[in-house]
Amino acid sequence: LPLALLSGTDAKRYRYGFVGTEDWSMYPAVPAGSLLVVDDTKRKIQASGWRSLSERPIYFLEHRDGYYCRWCSVQDGMISLIADPASESPILTFRFPEEIEVVGQVIGIAMTLDPEKRRRIRP
């Protein structure tokens, strides 16, 4: 892992996740192919306390079909996984905690700044 990109991060204290190279659901906040630093002690979904989307906590979640990196909202035993509005990805909803687990809150991101590698290709 390119842990040198995550300067100031205690490599042994946190977990790490990878956003798939075709997963544009959190773009531009979290580009496809990003390496995530996940604090697994922060598993409770915050319902408020941020002033903008850039301050809203992003969570890394595990589902039987794979992993998700999204903003979240919990209500009435359901969790909604909210994508960045610019991505045009749908909101996903699961029974919580039966169908999906919060691994932790994303506290760091390492990504490429090369525009050729970040170019979004739409079908």
Task: Read off the pTM.
Answer: 0.86
80: left (phi over 0), alpha (psi -120 to 50) or beta: beta
> What pLDDT does residue 111 have?
83
> What pLDDT does residue 118 have?
55
User: Mean pLDDT in each 10-residue stretch from start to end of the chain (123 residues)?
Assistant: 54 86 94 93 95 95 96 97 95 97 95 65 43
How far is the C-alpha of 121 from the C-alpha of 11, rounded, in Å? 33
> What pLDDT does residue 47 have?
93
> What pLDDT does residue 123 have?
39
> What pLDDT does residue 119 have?
55
- C-alpha atoms less than 13 angstroms from C-alpha of 52 in its C-beta half-sphere: 2
Residues 6+ apart with CB under 8 A from 4: none
Strands of 1-123 (E only): list them.
15-18, 35-39, 59-63, 66-75, 78-82, 92-95, 100-110
> What pLDDT does residue 115 have?
61
